[in-house]
Structure 1
């Protein structure tokens, strides 16, 4: 924003808010200086149907409130619009509104194995994908430069883009959100604009935060709608000119803050879900709620959106990753729970009760509802019959009997209470604010609500929220804390956020720090990631940069009548897990049965490995895409049983070492292959007989398939690993337990030209410590190849059939999705891993606290899970399949060092007990999806199921096993390991399906 003083700014106290919904456009005029009055400063409000030409509806609404309030236009300080138009263009896959995008990735050695659009829906990909190019560049996790920008490469890529006629370009570099020194993305943008004048260029660090694929996805969506966004924003400004409004125009962001119109036209993705946020902010303003958290229930015509308003006055945000139109992104979005209850919800009497929704007459309410002469009983009819609202003709509901009305109201009450329970994170009652046109449906009291408030002007709360939005500044930075304290690092991040808020148009003395989150970077010493949000009041003296409204636009019509939905590609339906069978092939020459891996197998393995990772091991998402694409390219992967190894077989093993946070930016690469090659060269080995994984947990569970594939060494993967789970360090293996001294010689490789060999060591622990220190200097992630081992050691000391186990767990999740039984996916996993004698559901609840901290330079943390009330428990179609958790009520605390260490239950009476601990497996499942949550995904408010699985006896049959893998190995000497149950060896997929 560029500053500019208006001599009459002291008179500019009125703010106009507009919400452009799918059905109605709402507008309000507010003078916030009068918010202490009963009117809350609302001077006028108006509701009009949303028009195909959206600017006409805005013009009508604003003209009406100006006339009704007689406000002079020179008193208007700002106009703020909240709109769903941009997200609708993506959701509807409207080819007229979306443009093809070119992507330039910046990294010399990485980012090539998992290309853009790897996990997009086919329909959107066909419309948007235009070009993908790679250039030198990129950063390491510590902010140092992986490689400098090479201008000639950028010029070459621009020539290729120009030849294709593309004008929307996304630039995405590894670790660009922390690039404060080299400004690689910005420098490339300057070159691109010089070579392609007039192009729409999006730099990813301005769109989203750490997490390259998700940030890139958000940037691509943003670029695809840029042309349409600029047209739309200019249309808003033209409507203001017609009304002779000269004040600044803003759009609302998803987090409840403002974007000036020029920024909104450049980053329209930030407006995608601002409507719900506006309703929540408007609810707080209209009710006068300023202290503590509150639940906001926005009841519309078809659905009710329930969210949590934080003490900062901003809505609680969703998890790190959200999905928009099937595309995974990581920009800020409000955490909402939606139910099918609205003013148009259809009411149907049943034998014993009354069904309400989820279907609705929607915007046909005034045609179909009983009170409007229609034949459909709706919740609005019930409200009129109950005397709650005066709407339509009351004679239309005279025939409704009192018992029916009472049962319908009881059902509405139950739906709202259940929804409030879902969004709450503690059993204590909370303030509930009711807004939206359907707010009149709510009863006078609700269980779980300490106070129920339906504020004045509740039906235009969304427009109110837009009008009173604040200005924000956000930073997401990784800093070293070896030469400064954590407090100093956090203070620096706060100062950056405050300055960004000022630059965005906030008055400096009004700015407060709304949110601070410090996340120690796992497995990287003395690195702290800090996310800070600062918010303040709009400075009406600031004159924001505006679009050139007179600039000529393309001539195509992008009105409603111009929509083009003809380009549609249906995604292939997933393979039915109920009928799928893996392919087992017997090799004629050897008689060995080999499991031929398919895309479906990779999908199952990825989900299963993350569960076995016990919150660690890194996300398998990028590995899954890499292996899937290799299969599609014709490469093969195979698995053999350990019993099929010859006595003299040479087995190579290894995987990744380092920080999962590095993998989030570098994605998947070939470090492990290069490490294998380096060790083979040192040992003068031309080949080997089989490959085995370091650990089955997380992304490392898939790494053997990369090096064993026909693309590289073409060797089978052994159905087993050296942990049976994930552990933080290389030496925490069953091989080190039973055959110490077998880790060296070994090799590590950074993937960008740095390789190191370690040939001798005095003990196994020093091997890991030395390699990890080197790993930090080599970019904080390396591939590792360990000393080749023998058939005897694999069969005697390995944890066998764990590839089969991961596959079976992943199939359980796929089966639950296919059969709509996600509420009992944990029970299915228990049965698959050996039944209740081997595995248990430890606890069900909601995450109510997440703590992350640095201790001696390393990352530790814990989550606290509050037990669910009986009313919050998910129902099951077959109650007999529902297993009783080991503990109910109270809270469960799970400390972690990337992997979960133990589960400690505190009962309601204060009794403390340890339910499980390492080396047994503790997995935290997202109850909504059935999938595992890793440490990076732990977020406040998640509803989870905690699963415990008994570990392999390789960990418990000797004292050394518990010394290396038990609680004491993590510094918890006071936690005594007690076996969770009896170990059941996983069933071999090869043996089961090889007989078919």
Structure 2
């Protein structure tokens, strides 16, 4: 019995045929392999390589159990913005963060329909069949064939009551519509799931045609076996399923190599893994090297949170692969300045056999170097005899350095590393790697990608939310495991071989019903079935249904002269020189631009200190409002411009971040809350809008509010950061009234607290109402006078967010240290540089408490996150050997050193031996790109830098302020520890103001 694997890459197409009864022998059952250049004609390319391996192996074609194909065709269409392969998509709802060029290609009409679920499973509203049928008619009249349906909390909708019913109604009305439901694509997080669903719908027509070509190729080879495609996680999916969910195959190329490497080395899928070591696969091709860590399950480690495809943030499972510009065709250069030798990142790629010196060309490549060094015999070695030995040594050293750094970046622990080296370009490594215990080249390593496709197993994965209140968690867990196993069996796995390989239980924040996200994956070997009818093609298609002379034409031949539309992928800040950009400030009024929104969002993330909600989502909402409305309505004025009698209102998002990420609001809930309070108080007009907190998404929500009411945002806020409760507004700490306080949703429900015996009681009452409203709502407190705002608000914090965001973006653009850039505009202390090694979360109190542990980096790891200019500066501090502990209640509460030995004795109770910073001072954790990480984003292995910034004196100006904003409120057994003296932030309005004459 035999299996054939094919990997269709951008440069080469590989094939391998395996004898499944000889998988344990020295050759791992590989009977033959073949590599050929990828052709634009899909059918011919596959036919060529499969025909070759069948001929070499001389096997009985009737005993071929299956053909598995991995391809980059679908993801390339997205990345290349190829109009020939992408379709316009009608969406329910829109294209919030698509790059401009891609959006222009795929954007179709958008419809908002009734439906969706709350976090506790209740309906937000019932489906409206007439509304859905009306949308179907409008879509068809617009000439759109492909539709994406996205429902709120579709991960809860296990029975398809909303998305699937909506799909059925759309197709009942217009049978020609092809509908993709988001519940089939990803888990929680509406925006990323929506994006992935749109991309899937956009590529759907091309995927169906491509897979039809794969089937035709199989038919012409007289193979009657089932056809499968490999998925992002290294498992198989039936071709019919892949034709409907092509997005799940986007990363199959790198994954095939990873899985093939583990198999060829004899590690299998967890049965022979090196339990005391970590395994890193290094796949060196002609242009790039892909590096990925293997989990004990034998599958690649998956990327966290989200993955960007073609500039679009998506939420489907993909391996975490680091790609560097190093391969067999990499160009080798010598610097004119200092004689430094560099290899890559550019490459001659598929022109290696014509451009490289050993083949008579004029370009010195990495392959020429290894031939010149006498390490391998390829081409004509005489043609590289003149290459100087110093140049050879320098190139080898650079290859070694690049690979060592890449492997180090992908390590997940300090355990010994075993490297599996595969790929046709792996010959360029001729030296031992530091930090690597063993470097293994498995048999057939140059065809690991095709082998990976041939041996791929079948997976069943579920990503659902379960309500655990009043339920046995073990029962729910076992039910989820069974559902994953059933899904694997339904996909073709052998029931006797299926095992659970991944279990994730992620509690959602600030919910009282113990809503928990379950992610379960089961994997099993493909079931060996009886030989199918030789007259039947894969998936039940009969030979006679296809005309044998009907070649599947490539998209290029069907395009009739159409060319790929490779427009700009730019988002607002890309392509802009941040150093010379000037905001539009006239007569002391700052008019907000899209660039300002992005910069403020980055800065609000830093000021969010781990909480405050997603600034990214709110920035997208703000950009949409800005694009559709009058830009002059969205503006900022200095706090000093307020008159004492002026009235300022507040509006913010309130609830659980995990819910607001899924139940993305339309903004009307905040307007409803403001209008409710104003109505009660008889306020007909107001002069300014002030943010409750500048940190996170609530630091930006004021801008759409400004556009809605045509009133300016005041350059200040009531916290100077983010805090978890409404008690933490500075005016309220100093005795100013909070009530009446309103909370509202987008359905017209509103509740008001008029009297309460304490601010703490107000928070309790509002929190309970928020749960009833679905744990995501708009909130507004009593408007305050200009006199109170000038006295008790934290000034210039919108400007501070702008300057912080500008510093981060400028540092990335100028390749300077972002801590130095931040320090140039505000007092900041670097508390730690390290790697997250533990994140403990506890939701027993109804909200998320947690603790993050960060360990020191090695010198090489520091090079990945700290520019050399900063490490060589006189002020650079030597590395700290102790660990840093950061407890959080969404927001980060303190930072203190702990002894590594004490931590490893008992991680849960290891106490800080030295406190370096506590609330109310600000603690932010920044990623390697300078962007702030919220507490939900923390995970093992992230390389981070921790900074502290001093709080405004209002937080230390009284015992009550320090009690509410300091360690005591959060039950920290420590005194306030400040990182320095506060300095009033600079004003954008003052610096860039242009006065009219």
Distance 1:843 1:562 in 2: 57
Partner of 1:932: 932
1:694 matches 2:679: no
Matched, 1:302 2:287: yes
1:97-120 CA distance string (max 9 Å, x none): 111111134xxxxxxxxxx12321
Which residue matches 1:158? 136
Counterpart in 2 of 1:970?
A: 970
1:263-282 maps to which residues of 2 (within 5 A)?
A: 263-282=241-260
- 1:80-91 alignment runs, 5 A limit: 80-91=68-79
Q: Residues 495-894 of structure 1: matches in 2 within 5 Å?
A: 495-525=482-512, 526-541=514-529, 545=539, 550=545, 557-562=553-558, 564-565=562-563, 567-570=565-568, 571=570, 574-586=575-587, 593-632=588-627, 633-635=629-631, 636-669=633-666, 670-709=668-707, 711-712=708-709, 714-739=710-735, 742-821=737-816, 824-834=817-827, 839-874=828-863, 876=867, 878-879=869-870, 884=876, 888-894=880-886
Aligned mates of 1:167, 1:770 — CA distance in 2 = 48
Displacement of 1:83 after TM fit? Answer: 0.5
Tell whether the 8 Å contact from 1:869 to 1:889 is kept in structure 2 after alignment. Answer: no
Partner of 1:82, secondary structure, is: strand
CA shift at 1:931, angstroms?
1.3
Closer, same or farther: CA 540–857 of 1 in aligned 2, 3 Å: farther
Greater displacement, 910-919 / 982-991: 910-919
**Counterpart for residue 27 of structure 2:** 39
CA distance 1:885–1:933, change in 2 (3 Å)? farther
Q: Do the aligned partners of 2:12 and 2:35 also contact (CA within 8 Å) in 1?
A: yes
Q: Please state whether the residue corresponding to 1:173 is helix, strand or coil.
A: coil
Please give the alpha-carbon distance, in whole angstroms, between the structure 2 residues aligned to 1:918 and 1:441: 52
Kindly provide the CA deviation profile for residues 1-21 of structure 1, in whole angstroms up to 9, marking residues without a partner as x. Answer: xxxxxxxxxxxx321111111
Partner SS for 1:784: strand
Secondary structure class of the residue paired with 1:747: strand
Alignment partner of 1:49 is 2:63: no
Maintained 8 Å contact 1:15/1:31: yes
| Contact 1:256/1:281 (<8 A) preserved | yes
* 3-state SS, counterpart of residue 855 of structure 1: coil
Contact (CA 8 Å) 2:80, 2:566: kept in 1 or not? no
Residue 598 of structure 1: CA displacement? Answer: 2.4
Aligned equivalent of 2:107, options 129, 132, 138: 129
Bigger Cα displacement from structure 2, 808-817 vs 868-877: 868-877
Q: Is the 8 A contact 1:623 1:668 kept in 2?
A: no
Q: Which shifted more, 743-752 or 568-577?
A: 568-577
Quick one: distance in 2 between partners of 1:916 and 1:489? 41
**C-alpha contact (below 8 Å) 2:326/2:345 kept by paired residues:** yes
Aligned counterparts, 1:339-418, within 5 A: 339-350=324-335, 351-418=338-405
Instruction: Judge conservation of contact 1:426–1:866 (CA < 8 Å) in 2.
Output: no
Whole-angstrom distance in 1 between the partners of 2:803 and 2:26: 61
Report the equivalent of 1:980.
979
Between 600-609 and 505-514, report the one with greater CA deviation. 505-514
Q: Which residue of 1 aligns with 2:908?
A: none
Change (3 A) 1:805 1:579: same
Q: Normalized against structure 1, the TM-score is what?
A: 0.92
Matched, 1:994 2:993: yes
Do the aligned partners of 2:188 and 2:662 also contact (CA within 8 Å) in 1? yes
Q: Matched residues in 2 for 1:379 and 1:600: separation?
A: 42
User: Matched residues in 2 for 1:222 and 1:884: separation?
Assistant: 48
CA contact (8 A) 2:609 2:934 kept: yes
Unaligned ranges ≥5, structure 1:
1-12, 106-115, 587-592
Query: What is the DSSP-based 3-state SS (H/G/I as helix, E as strand, rest coil) of the residue aligned with 2:430?
Result: coil
Task: Give secondary structure in 2 for the equivalent of 1:666.
Answer: coil
Q: Distance in 2 between matches of 1:728 and 1:924?
A: 17
1:191 is matched with 169
Within a 5 Å distance, the mapping from 1:204-219 to structure 2 comes to: 204-219=182-197
1:312–1:975 distance in 2 versus 1, CA, 3 Å:
farther
- Aligned equivalents of 2:393 and 2:809: distance in 1? 41
Structure 1 position 937, deviation (Å):
2.6
Aligned residues of 2:213 and 2:552 also touching (Cα < 8 A):
no
Q: In structure 2, what is the Cα distance between the partners aligned to 1:370 and 1:224? A: 43
**Does 1:223 pair with 2:214?**
no
Q: Where does residue 921 of structure 1 map in the other structure?
A: 922
**Post-superposition offset of 1:136:** 1.0
Secondary structure of the 1:970 match is coil
| Residue pair 2:690, 2:702 contacting (<8 A) in 1 also | yes
- Counterpart secondary structure, 2:264: helix
What do residues 496-544 of structure 1 show as CA deviations (whole Å, max 9, x unaligned)? 2222222222223322222222222112222222222222221233998
3-state SS, counterpart of residue 135 of structure 1: coil
Q: Would you say 1:98 and 2:76 are equivalent positions?
A: no
RMSD (Å) for aligned C-alpha atoms: 2.4
Q: CA deviation at 1:903?
A: 2.1
How far the C-alpha of 1:133 sits from its partner, in A, is 1.5
CA 1:551–1:707 in 2, change beyond 3 Å: closer, same or farther? Answer: farther
TM-score (norm 2): 0.92
Q: CA deviation at 1:177?
A: 2.1
CA contact (8 A) 1:886 1:915 kept: no
- State how many pairs are aligned: 957
- Gaps of at least 5 residues in structure 2 are 533-537, 903-911
CA distance in 2 between counterparts of 1:546 and 1:268 reads 20
- Aligned partners of 2:728 and 2:964 also within 8 Å: yes
Equivalent-residue separation in structure 1 for 2:750 and 2:874 (angstroms): 51
Whether 1:900 aligns to 2:892 is yes
Partner of 2:439: 452
Q: What is the rounded CA distance, in whole Å, between the counterparts of 2:196 and 2:509 in structure 1?
A: 25
- Provide closer, same or farther for how the CA distance between residues 739 and 323 of structure 1 changes in structure 2, counting only shifts above 3 A: same
Q: Does 1:326 align with 2:311?
A: yes
CA distance in 2, matches of 1:187, 1:890: 56
The answer (yes or no) to whether the contact 1:518–1:852 under 8 Å persists in 2 is no
Q: Which residue of 2 aligns with 1:317?
A: 302
Which deviations, in whole Å up to 9, do the C-alpha atoms of 1:742-768 show, x marking residues without a partner?
A: 222111101212100101111111111
Equivalent in the alignment of 1:10: none
- The verdict on how the C-alpha distance between 1:576 and 1:295 changes in structure 2, with shifts beyond 3 A counting, is same
Distance 1:746 1:122, change over 3 A: same
Are the structure 2 counterparts of residues 56 and 416 from structure 1 closer, same or farther at C-alpha, using a change threshold of 3 Å? same
